[in-house]
Amino acid sequence: MAGEKVLLVDDDSEFTDVLSERMATRGLKVDTAANGLDAIKKVSESSYDAIVLDLAMPELDGIETLKILLNKQPELQVILLTGHATVEKGVEAVRLGAIDFLEKPADLTQLLEKIKKARNQKMLLVENKIEDEITKILRDKGW
């Protein structure tokens, strides 16, 4: 891992403090958000390689936050994390666009691997988008 930028979203501040510290010691750049609305604001202000999003939060839960985030930025790579995992919610999250779904307490090595995969996938999506834009410009200009 070399500097992946991650947004960790969970209403349990003790959990985010501990996990963000463990991730930072492994070289990741970690921002935290205490709820879905805060996450939406941070995503609009900064770019992240991956978002680790808690499923069960008050007001705006993980599924609703996921929908809003991906509607605004479809290339976002979101990993849902919860202590209340169900197969149904996991399937729904992946169907909506999450790249994965893990139960708390997540194995840190496994989570870091998924974050690295997310970063690589986002880079590929961005490269493809840029390539498509260049192709469109060249086609429209008749070069």
> What's the domain count of the chain?
1
Q: What pTM, to 2 d.p., does this model score? A: 0.82
CATH of the domain at 91: 3.40.50.2300
Provide the pLDDT for residue 1. Answer: 43
Quick one: how far is CA 18 from the chain centroid?
A: 18
Mean per-residue pLDDT for 15-26? 92
Buried b (16+ CB within 10 A) or exposed e, 86-97: eeebbebbeeeb
Provide the pLDDT for residue 84. Answer: 66
The domain of 118 spans 5-141
Encode pLDDT of 73-127 as tens digits.
Answer: 888 999 988 776 566 777 788 888 898 888 877 788 888 888 888 888 888 888 8
